[in-house]
Amino acid sequence: MKVHLGLSSETHKDYLFQRRLAERLPFDSFRFDFRGNHETGGTWKQGAFHDDLEDIDAVVSYLKAKYGYEIELIVGHSRGSLVAFRWISTTEEGRKVPAFINVSARHRMRKILETEGAQHWEEAFKKQGYFEWKVTVARKQVVAKINPQSVEDFCSWDTSFVWEQFPKDTDVLTIHGTADKIVPVSDAMIYARALSDRSPGTHSLHLMENADHNFTKRQDEVVKVILDCCEHNHILQARSTAAEVVARG
């Protein structure tokens, strides 16, 4: 049985386009929150990517043991894509995944220090040693703490492995908004270069003009782009035993 896994971060499992996409795919969907996010316990940490990897392993192992599912498609947004890249590249189950949708992923990690938010971090670090990040998740305000070590852990996350370790036959679609102020659109170009060096025809790049990092008011368009790509690559063939898994974190 097949399953689709969707990943994102600092939000919740129905955020952005994931639920809309799940409703349009011809197979099941399983969505979950990474630890420390929305309905999942634990503490959110900015640079704790290894925790996210452990969460994916736990979910995949459960779905495989309980229902016999195999992952057919992964859709990652932002941090979710970063974790998906590593999981696909370094695990036995990940390397079997036929297709991956990479949305708004960062490649040059230290570029986050050039964002407007990073300026506020530095001011707070000097005053109290940490920054209180206030964000609305599922209509509720959530406060997370960011400290210098978590920022360094984030910046130190290696993405260079994509050039050599990402499976050569996994089909990839990269989607990025040209008005993204959080992750530069040029990072999408870097991923395109890295992934295009694999098997010919296994990577496509779609730049959405004037779209921001979260594709505000453009989410249906994102869903259409993904569905069109999946249909072109024969991922949407009817499968009565297929499923989708969506993880948010």
Local confidence pLDDT in tens for the 249 residues of the chain: 556 666 655 554 456 788 899 888 887 777 777 775 655 545 667 888 999 999 999 999 999 999 898 888 899 899 889 999 999 999 999 999 999 999 999 999 999 999 988 888 989 999 999 998 776 665 667 777 899 999 999 999 999 999 999 999 999 999 999 999 999 999 999 999 999 989 888 999 999 999 999 999 999 999 999 999 888 876 655 443 344 444 444
CATH number, position 241? 3.40.50.1820
Strand partners, 206: 175
How far is it, in rounded angstroms, from Cα 65 to Cα 81?
25
- What's phi and psi for 40, nearest 5 deg? -105, 130
Which residues span the domain enclosing 221? 2-248
**pLDDT digits 0-9 by tens, 30-83:** 777 777 565 554 566 788 899 999 999 999 999 999 989 888 889 989 988 999
pLDDT of residue 241: 39
Rg (the chain; Cα; Å): 17
pLDDT of residue 231: 85
Tally of domains within the chain: 1
Burial class (CB in 10 A: 0-12, 13-18, 19+), 225: buried
79 Cβ neighbours under 8 A, 6+ residues apart: 8, 9, 10, 49, 52, 106, 249
Burial class (CB in 10 A: 0-12, 13-18, 19+), 141: exposed
